[in-house]
Structure 1
Amino acid sequence: MATPNSALRAVRIGLLMSQDDFARAVRDAGVRAGQPNDASKRLVQRWEAGVSTSPRPLYARALEAVTGLPIEALGFTVMSARVQDDGHGGHDMQPSPEGVAPPAMTPQPDPQGARKNFAGIWLSRYEYFSSGRDSTYTGLHHVVVLQHGNRLTVRSLPGSSDSPLMMDLEVDGHVATGTWTEQTAVDGYYRGARYHGSIQLLIEPTGRRMTGKWVGFGKEFDINTGPWELVFRDASTTKAAIEQYNHRPEA
């Protein structure tokens, strides 16, 4: 009997998506990456029911882009880099021997010492001014960064904050530019309000820190801004590494 994939279902529900919505998001991610797929509600149901435990690479990449989490953290079988032709115009992944996870990709430096691979776990820290409380506050999250080419998807770990955070960035040399979204806690000061805006970060030569500014709209439709930084913590995105950082960062 298949074991239901509760991890994937929990992530989908956390994104406030129905199975139809999730399938559509997976298809859209494939189109954006230039690798169209045929994700459907039925396929999502098979994944969540545990009937299909090893999505093909193009689905795995789309799932990572939608959720911001590595495929291993979504309840699927840990895969190696080997693929085999499935006879239907695609490939099926093969499980690693004895279920052993493949080694984490080691960030590769350029001649000046800058990292080119930014995948891993980072600490996100930003500051914002609360007009209602007349004070400046700091937002802290442990986030998972996944990289596909020059695009980075950033998603906060659920245990690091009551306010889920996500960013979609594009790297151009030593500059990362993109958008951010944060869903505030329902029982917090902002009562579940959703905030979003733009962000631009400068990547330090070592590639271990990004610093810059965020821009967003306040509740009075005024434009707010403040500092934001990402600080590298761990190159691994395995389940064990994620569990290690799935807690509130220290101030």
Structure 2
Amino acid sequence: MAAHQMSACELADAVNRAIGLITGRPGTTSERTVFRWLSGESRWPQARQRRALESVTGLPVTALGFVPRGKPTPAPARPKDPDMRRRRLFGAAASTAVAAVSLTWPAPARASRVGTSDVIRLRDGVERLLALDAERGGHGLEQAALAGAGEALRLQQQSATQRVRQRLYALAADFTATAAWSLIDAGRLDGAGRHLDRALALAGLAQDSEVVLQVWNLRAMLARQRGDFPEAVASAQAAQKTAITRRSPLHASLAHARAAVGLAHGGETRAALRCLDRAEDALAKADPTQPRSSWIVFYGPAELYSLTAIVRDVVGHPEQAEAASHRALAALPDTYRRNRAYTTARLALAQLHQGDVEQACATSGEVFTIMAGTPLPGRMRLLLGDFQRDLLAQAPAASAYAWMDRYRTEWSSS
């Protein structure tokens, strides 16, 4: 309920709708019933309620904390892997072709009032896209993301409560921002700005400051890739001023870190390092056990170390950049293959900028090993292009051309 920001009344409504789809007759679950589930007074719902809960949440009822009659109540325990559901969703979508991701948005079994279960169904679609992004990059997800946004807006036209309408607008914004990210990650920057403009408008209709921050975060990344560092900083500062940053240290940390990257590229070293300090202080205050939206699951110590590596390398501190890259790689989950490859490329740059040419060349080669079987995202190609340029400028010609000859095939085939 916390993860989906659902009230007891909304969960009851979603369960009753699911019962209707299963049995042909809407359920009679009440808000009071949900409170009994939450308090533990009712430890094992009726059979049709159990089926409906599994349909709504995508989880077995025992994973939701319910206990079959006659069995002792187990001690509450946190899941060993909070990313488990993301990986399960990715596993279901892993057979999708890399070149063209296709997600379907099945219509409800019959025309009815749009409710929380529809919101959860679409939210699962967002999670599937993000799981694919973590595994091999966001490139190629644009059309699937836009289809999800279209479905959210189609449902928004039907009968629904105001709260559900706002969530549908927020989902449409999230999908549209994901489409923009797909283009950014692919290095196709021209269309990304249009998607972000649309996403920002939809986030406004949703009155959702977290989605607004999500869009400004991506706009800061887009501006940096375009070389417009003042806009990158301004976008990050707009993210810092969203309402969500006042109540969530996690979101505040990301906004400060993004500002640090823009300031570093703009030559404002002291300001960049101050922003990094603020990002670290804010992240230290964040509660890692709190539920978070899918789009920001990626952000934590590993990502902050990775952004720190970028800032330190850009301002001329390659030793600190190398150390931060190693810390990022140690903290990254195994499922974040694209992030691991990108951070490895940053590590190679930091080593090269210290004059350790042989080690830098060996490290950069690991990028192709990590991403084996998957095309390199355009953003990663650009970073390796920076490595090749700096290698030609700093290394003996023989070393530079040996690296280029060795990896020309991997680069062209990926």
What TM bracket, shorter-length normalisation?
Answer: 0.3 to 0.5
**Larger-gyration structure (1/2):** 2
Relative contact order higher in (CA < 8 Å, ≥ 6 apart): 1
- The normalised TM-score by structure 1 is 0.35
Higher helix share: 2
- The normalised TM-score by structure 2 is 0.22
Higher strand share: 1
